[in-house]
């Protein structure tokens, strides 16, 4: 559900290349768009879903900085 006035977040897929501290990752976005700095969403932290190097993930991209994102699903 989106509220009025808010636009939909851009969803992209990629592969985790590096695991960093505090549930943050470097993700290689499909389509040759380069590396993105991404962190886990709150629900993934709450349910302790593990993401490892080599996992394919779905991300919500930041509206203001295209080099940042939030991992919302492990595929």
47 is a domain residue: yes
Domain count, the chain: 1
DSSP string of 6-68?
PPPPPEEEEEEEEEETTTEEEEEETTTTEEEEEEE-HHHHHTT----TT-EEEEEEPSS-TTE
CB-CB contact of 47 with 54 (8 Å): no
In tens, the pLDDT along 19-60 reads: 999 999 999 999 888 999 999 999 999 999 999 999 999 999
4 is a domain residue: no
Range of the domain at 38: 11-74
Q: Is the pLDDT of residue 3 over 80?
A: no
42 is a domain residue: yes
Residue 69's domain is classified under what CATH number? Answer: 2.40.50.140
21 is a domain residue: yes
H or E element in which residue 71 lies:
strand 68-74
H or E element in which residue 70 lies:
strand 68-74
- Would you state the structure tokens that stand for residue 63, as one six-digit string? 């509206």
């Amino acid at each position: 559900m989106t509220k009025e006035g808010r636009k939909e977040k851009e969803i992209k897929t990629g592969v985790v290349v590096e695991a960093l501290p505090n549930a943050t990752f470097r993700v290689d976005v499909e389509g040759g768009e380069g590396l993105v700095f991404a962190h886990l969403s709150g629900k993934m932290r709450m349910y302790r879903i593990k993401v490892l190097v080599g996992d394919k993930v779905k991300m919500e991209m930041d509206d203001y900085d295209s080099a940042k994102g939030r991992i919302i699903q492990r595929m």
